[in-house]
Amino acid sequence: MDLYYKNKKKINFSKMHGLGNDFMVINCIKENFILSSFTIKKLSNRYTGIGFDQLLLVEKSKSSLVDFNYRIFNANGNEVEQCGNGARCFGLFLLLNGLTNKNKISVSTKKRHLIIEFLPKNMIKVNMNEPDFKFHNLFLSKNILYKNFSIKLFNENLICSLVSIGNPHCIIKVQCIKHAPVNIIGKRIGKNSIFPKGINVSFMEIINKKNIKLRVYERDVGETQACGSAACAAVAIGIAQKLLSNVVEVELLGGKLIIMWKGFGTPLYMIGPAKHVYDGYIYI
């Protein structure tokens, strides 16, 4: 047994989740671990590995204006730009490990800066910045803003809306999410050539102006119990199209989030819980 571990590196981690969207979190502040896509895929396997939707890395900030750097990798090993549920778990990880004593911290992601604020009753608030409706900045050659967009799928035109919350989202409004073909359509849209880097696909059922239900097919992952950035994206679309109020409760499979947005020119906020499951270590 000792010979087996002799040439392997021991990595401590925490298992966490936000509404069932689960994460492996590693502290890379003192030692920066370089994990290959192959290794991340093995670790994410729920039968032979630790099992998670995303891997989160806590790194030193490269700027005096930012407290920490926040990196996110999907289960297939691809690094992505944003994860809302992950941001809350990231913040809780910092608190539990004594890495901060602030009530409000700033973190940098691949493309954005986020503000994470610790609220009473173990709730965490994240400033997700202003939604980006200029989708040509991402994949398309034209600015479609927040209007409906048509995608050819199964010889039919599927109507959806596009927005970025630091990562790309496609929102489809449905009458009832219970029977929505989330995995079939989500996978097919994600592989559409119009989105060469893939896209998160959400199905939104509007209950009333203050309440929606949402199911999400996450890029490179599949349907998850919850997706914070997708909740933000769906509400942003609903508010931009004057279908929702400025404060909305989003019901996902794993629980509920509160999303607040006053509209164009202002940041969007997400409020929800984060949970620590266990700490462990693994040799790689």
| CATH code at position 103 | 3.10.310.10
68 and 95: one domain? yes
Rounded distance, CA 243 to CA 219, Å? 26
> Taking a C-beta distance cutoff of 8 angstroms, is the pair 89, 52 a contact?
no
Q: Out of 89, 160, 170, 227, which one is annotated catalytic? A: 227
227 and 146: one domain? yes
The total number of structural domains that make up the chain = 2
Global confidence as pTM: 0.91
172 and 113: one domain? no
196 and 148: one domain? yes
Rounded distance, CA 271 to CA 273, Å? 7
89 and 158: one domain? no
Annotated active-site residue 83? The verdict is yes
Rounded distance, CA 169 to CA 179, Å? 21
- Compute CA 34 distance to the chain's CA centroid, rounded to the nearest angstrom: 22
Annotated active-site residue 160? The verdict is no
> Taking a C-beta distance cutoff of 8 angstroms, is the pair 223, 182 a contact?
yes
Residue 142: phi and psi, rounded to 5, are -125, 155
Coil, strand or helix: which one is 234?
A: helix
> Taking a C-beta distance cutoff of 8 angstroms, is the pair 57, 33 a contact?
yes
* Per-residue pLDDT in tens (0 to 9) along the chain, 284 residues: 565 666 788 999 999 999 999 999 999 998 877 899 999 999 999 999 999 999 999 999 988 889 999 999 999 999 998 899 999 999 999 999 999 999 999 999 887 899 999 999 889 999 999 999 876 545 554 555 556 778 878 778 888 999 999 899 999 999 999 999 999 999 999 888 788 888 999 999 999 999 999 999 999 889 999 999 999 999 999 999 999 999 999 999 999 999 999 999 999 999 999 999 999 999 98
Q: Out of 28, 83, 176, 232, which one is annotated catalytic? A: 83
234 and 175: one domain? yes
The domain of 73 spans 2-127+274-283
Rounded distance, CA 177 to CA 60, Å? 41
74 and 95: one domain? yes
226 and 148: one domain? yes
150 and 196: one domain? yes
